[in-house]
């Protein structure tokens, strides 16, 4: 069973105010304390797309397989991510662009969007899961409160630590959260999408190139008299 480990990327500026800063890092520290079920984590802040892409590139490397859960803590709009506080209505990076950045080598990994409205467009969500070839893709359909969604995220990762980072583990985690935290799950529209059986690791078959017909070589020899 693959053990849970979290790689968290979080905005460095939630509210656009110097004296008012929030961070998910203390929650992750609680999750990783030695005890019955510590879930290790690595935490970094991100303010630009360039930083984001650099960290994603590092996370994809096989040496980081011990951190199979990618936790993205940012502001969000419908199908998108913003790296800092903004009033614009178009996301800085939409789901299609995010899938391109993350790439298609996420077999056995889970991507969790800790943003508002990241899962609102179900067609885009399905496309994202197929494109990245991830084991699971989770997040929120609605607008979420910072503290309550952070608490739900913490319980989500803890449940994955108990159940394992597998399709069966995700199913068990979804069931336990709906049972224990049903009010917040319903209110925020928390969803877990699991890759269909047999789709993980499958690539499209490459069609063989048609063989070119060989040219017939005429016999140019002449007979001697």
- pLDDT band of residue 18 (cuts 50, 70, 90) is confident
Q: pTM for the complete prediction?
A: 0.85
Q: Which of 113-122, 174-183, 196-205 is the least confident region? A: 196-205
Asked whether residue 98 carries a pLDDT value surpassing 80, the answer given is: yes
pLDDT (average), residues 212-217: 56
Taking Cα atoms as reference points, which of 77, 54, 75 lies closest to residue 7? Answer: 54
Q: Which of 4-8, 48-52, 79-83 is the least confident region? A: 79-83
Asked whether residue 138 carries a pLDDT value surpassing 80, the answer given is: yes
What would the CATH number be for the domain defined by 6-194? Answer: 3.40.50.1460
pLDDT (average), residues 6-24: 87
pLDDT of residue 61: 94
Q: How far apart are CA 186 and CA 173, in angstroms?
A: 15
- pLDDT band of residue 173 (cuts 50, 70, 90) is very high
pLDDT of residue 2: 74
Asked whether residue 3 carries a pLDDT value surpassing 50, the answer given is: yes
pLDDT of residue 157: 97
Q: Where are the domains of the chain?
A: 6-194
């Amino acid at each position: 069973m693959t053990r849970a480990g979290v790689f968290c990327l979080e905005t460095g500026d939630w509210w656009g105010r110097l004296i008012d800063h929030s961070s998910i890092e203390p929650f992750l520290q609680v999750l990783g304390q030695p005890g019955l079920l510590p879930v290790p984590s690595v935490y970094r802040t991100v303010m630009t797309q360039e930083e984001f892409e650099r960290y994603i590139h590092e996370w994809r490397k096989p040496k980081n397989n011990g951190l199979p859960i990618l936790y993205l803590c940012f502001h969000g709009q419908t199908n998108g991510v913003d790296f800092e506080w903004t009033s614009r209505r178009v996301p800085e990076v939409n789901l299609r662009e995010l899938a391109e950045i993350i790439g298609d080598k996420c077999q056995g990994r889970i991507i969790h969007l800790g943003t508002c409205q990241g899962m609102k467009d179900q067609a885009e969500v399905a496309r994202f899961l197929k494109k990245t070839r991830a084991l699971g893709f989770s997040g929120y359909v609605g607008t979420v409160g910072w503290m309550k969604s952070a608490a739900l995220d913490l319980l989500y990762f803890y449940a994955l630590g108990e159940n394992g980072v597998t399709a069966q583990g995700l199913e068990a985690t979804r069931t336990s959260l709906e049972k224990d935290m049903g009010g917040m799950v319903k209110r925020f529209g928390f969803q877990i999408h699991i890759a269909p059986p047999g789709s993980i690791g499958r690539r499209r078959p490459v069609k063989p190139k048609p063989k070119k017909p060989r040219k017939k070589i005429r016999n140019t020899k002449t007979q001697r008299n």
